Amino acid sequence: MASHIYECIEKIGQSIIDNRGFLTELDREIGDADHGINMARGFGEVLAQLPADNEDIGAALKKTGMVLLSKVGGASGPLYGTACLEAAKVCAGRTALTAEDGKTVFAAVIAGIQKRGKAVRGEKTMLDAIIPASEAYAAAVDAGAPVDACLDAMCEAAKEGAEYTASIRATKGRASYLGDRSIGHKDPGAASSLLAMEAIRSYVKGA
């Protein structure tokens, strides 16, 4: 039987692969039209290489991180790859996570992306979806909300954050070459982050 972590990563990968056209179109507007291609290539390889029966969340995230790092090909590879490697460290040896653990994982993910890309909130990147999502999730957990409600709050904030990227100018990544012309278009990385978080929510709710 496939492990929980495998099924969760599979759900994320499937959503990314199903949305490759959408992500690539977003990247056509303000980048080099490859974000969906990059991410689908990376997750295709993750699903081919990840052992389905390993319950160790840290090990699964480490493998996922190494594959994304090497196979995605664009900036999102080292960024999501490093995020997974940092998350792997805080999940080493774990076979289940609590709602509280989710906060630690978020912190590790954000630290990984910032270590690699040196961006902050407001630069029109994936962080504009992930940071508000992390804050909304933590606030819901701290308020004692049930897990489903915490994940709803997370996805709601991620969605708002991804929409917000359309209103700002890019100062990191390829879209920054466009300057003000990047305004009016959503950031592809924020869109893929939202898809990943929605997949996690749908996995947890369905499990």
Ligand X SMILES: Nc1ncnc2c1ncn2[C@@H]1O[C@H](COP(=O)(O)OP(=O)(O)OP(=O)(O)O)[C@@H](O)[C@H]1O
Q: Residue numbers of the site for another protein (CB under 8 A)?
A: 34, 38, 41, 66, 69-75, 77-79, 81-82, 116-117, 173-174
Q: What angle do CA 156, 161, 162 make, to 5 degrees?
A: 100
Residues constituting the chain: 207
Measured distance CA(67)–CA(80) in Å, rounded? 10
Smallest Cα–Cα separation from 101: which of 93, 110, 91? Answer: 91
Per DSSP, 50 falls in state: S
Partner that binds at residue 78, options ligand X, Mg ion, another protein, none, CB closer than 5 to 8 Å by kind: another protein
Q: Which two tokens stand for residue 104?
A: 């630690």
Q: For tokens 């912190």, what's the residue?
A: 107
Closest approach, Cβ 33 to Mg ion, in A, equals 7
Q: What angle do CA 139, 142, 148 make, to 5 degrees?
A: 75
Site track 57-86 with ligand X (rule: CB under 6 A), x = hit: -----------------xxx--x-------
130 binds ligand X (CB under 6 A): no
187 binds Mg ion (CB under 5 A): no
34 binds Mg ion (CB under 5 A): yes
Closest approach, Cβ 38 to Mg ion, in A, equals 7
Residues engaged in binding ligand X (CB under 6 A)? 27, 31-32, 34-35, 38, 74-76, 79, 113, 117, 119, 125-127, 172-174, 187-190
